[in-house]
Amino acid sequence: MVRTKIKDILLGEKVDYQVIVKGWIRSFRNNQFIAINDGSCLDSIQAVISLDTEEQIIKKISNGASLSIKGTVVASLGKGQKVEIKVEDIEILGECSGDEYPLQLKNRPSLEFLREKAHLRFRTNAFGAVFRVRHSLAFAIHQFFHQRGFVYMHTPIITSSDAEGAGEMFRVTSLPFDNPPRNEDNSINFKEDFFGRSTNLTVSGQLEAELAAMALSEVYTFGPTFRAENSNTARHLAEFWMIEPEVAFNTLKENMDLAEDFIKYLIKFALENNRADLEFLATRLEEEEKQKPQNERSEMGLIEKLEFVLNNDFERITYTQAIDILLQSPAYKKKKFQYDVSWGIDMQSEHERYLVEKHFKKPVIVTNYPKSIKAFYMRQDDDCAQGRETVAAMDILAPGIGEIVGGSQREERLDKLEQRMKEMHIPTEEMYWYLDTRRFGTAPHAGFGLGFERMVLFVTGMTNIRDVIPFPRTPKNADF
Ligand code: 4AD
Ligand code: MG
């Protein structure tokens, strides 16, 4: 007989058939009722053992132990479940000795505590739900693009280029640290390194995706990216996953439409496929919100928020309009912002959150940012006022998260691109391959990057990015 997943038994509502169930014990009551969870769904199944079960076995039935049972699915008389299993055979596969088991606590463990126990936290309801939703979203991402005829492109993880030009990269080397080969001027001789040049972990697959889009028209990447920025916030990881579609012939407007459709598709997919998990997370969030002072609580519950975002257009404003709104805001006038506001600033998260959470109360797409604060590859806007040069950038800001998407129409004009790279000290000779696409059949194109963990944060209502990736990598932390 093969193992039946608990989800299938609970969904089925069928009775009077035999099953084998394997899983981990979540609780044991009255020497008779075992709650078993196998991760296939949020709910555990109740297994009822007979009162004459051997003492030897009873002793081993404890929270966290793994077991295999054989029994009959029967209608349940108890509250909270339609069916349960009348156990005929029980085998403890792995004992879980009581006191040392970190999840043995009487009170619900805090998320902070569980972060230290990331190897075991999958066993809690909250993390089971989060990681099932994360899986669903990853699946939905591929489905969304596949249905639209995009080609999934695997871009390199080790690279010699710096896509964002921000220089926050992890070096990849096989040179010895204590005595690396040196050039005459005492700098390190990377010609001797593994790849014969200096390499790093990628910060984005965009530049390579652009090359592919210049032939396949519609491509996307979905892979890990790495940033050595020292931002110890609830929104930053040093290793995170990013989805980067790149589309030939798309303008900024079409880029925004694609991003909005994409985000809504993911939300809809989760609402339709992860209802029980989302309802559990909604309740969790509600309890968390109750701890906050009244004026800091969010007005909507999790499900309500997701439905609201799904059913309403994102607001679309230019950077210039965004700055004007901030300058006119009561928050600015009452000097509530820590950072000053003026045209040209790189908006801080307090500014973004004001726009999204206080002013518009919905996701906002901000476009046409100042050229000076954006990457070299963004298309330069024509007809800008003197001193107010902008680029065809778009950031999507989400309630509770801030920036969730960053993207742009790309500079397809060789002369303008080359000039901008020179201004920003990006070596044009080394990047000849990128410039070649502009030399040989250049075409307008656009794309964006969605931070996967920020999307998972948004959908699950979790508040710390460390709680939506199995093993977070942050400054001074690479455990497990
Ligand atoms: O805005 P970013 O830096 O854009 C790019 O990398 C472009 N190459 C994307 C493109 O146009 N193809 O990053 C994109 C998104 C951000 O909006 C954010 O959601 C996420 O990636 N992100 C991070 N997520 C977690 N931790 C970090 N340190 C992140 N940095 C960016
Ligand atoms: Mg960005």
Q: How far apart are the first and last CA of the chain?
A: 36
- Whether residues 25 and 155 share a domain: the answer is no
Instruction: Tell me the sheet residues that pair with 24.
Output: 37, 66
* For ligand 1, atom 30: residue with the closest CA: 236
> Is 247 within the bounds of a domain?
yes
**What CATH number is associated with residue 92?**
2.40.50.140
Residue 248 lies in a domain: yes
Tell me the best of 219, 231, 240, 458 to mutate to test the pocket of ligand 1, counting ligand atoms within 8 Å of each CB and taking the most: 240
What would the pLDDT profile of 430-440 be if each residue is shown by its tens digit? Answer: 999 999 999 99
CB-based contact 344:370 (threshold 8 Å): yes
Query: Which range of residues forms the domain containing residue 400?
Result: 125-168+203-467
DSSP H or E stretch at residue 345 = none
Q: Is residue 190 part of a domain?
A: no
Q: Are 134 and 216 in a shared domain? A: yes
Statement to judge: residues 307 and 365 lie in one domain: yes
Domain assignment of residue 188, yes or no: no
Eight-state DSSP code of residue 195: T
- The Cα 245–Cα 147 span in angstroms is 14
Q: pTM of the entire structure?
A: 0.96
Residue nearest to atom 18 of ligand 1 (CA): 451
* 404 in the same domain as 257: yes
Amino acid at 226: F
Which atom of ligand 1 is closest in space to residue 166's alpha carbon? 3
Same domain for 35 and 158, yes or no, is no
Ligand 2 centroid vs 248 CA: distance in angstroms? Answer: 21
Same domain, 246 and 327: yes
Say yes or no: 228 and 366 in one domain: yes
Ligand 1 site residues (CB inside 6 A) read 163-164, 204, 206, 227, 236-237, 240, 242, 244, 403-408, 447-449, 451, 453-454
Report angle CA 455, 458, 462 to the nearest 5 degrees: 115
Other Cβ atoms less than 10 A from the Cβ of 349: the count is: 14
Rounded CA gap, 472 and 458, in Å? 17
Inside any domain, residue 114: no
Is residue 228 domain-resident? yes
Q: Which tokens belong to 16?
A: 């009077």
**158 shares a domain with 84:** no
453 domain-assigned: yes
Take atom 20 of ligand 1 and give the residue whose Cα is closest: 451
Q: Looking at the structure, do residues 320 and 376 belong to the same domain, yes or no?
A: yes
Output the CA 449–ligand 2 centroid distance in Å.
8
Helices (H) and strands (E) in the chain, counts: 14, 16
Contact 111, 433 (CB under 8 A): no
- Asked whether residue 387 is domain-assigned, the answer is yes
Task: Report DSSP letters for 28-61, one per residue.
Answer: EETTTEEEEE-SSSSPPEEEE--TT--HHHHHH-
The three-point CA angle 70-75-79 to 5° equals: 110
Tell me, what CATH number does 207's domain have? 3.30.930.10
Is residue 444 domain-shared with residue 309, that is, in the same domain? yes
- What is the total count of domains within the chain? 2
User: What single-letter DSSP state applies at residue 384?
Assistant: P
Helix ranges (DSSP H) in 316-429: 319-328, 330-333, 349-353, 414-423
Same domain? For 155 and 14 the reply is: no
Write out residues in the chain with pLDDT < 70, as ranges. 98, 105
Same domain, 34 and 144: no
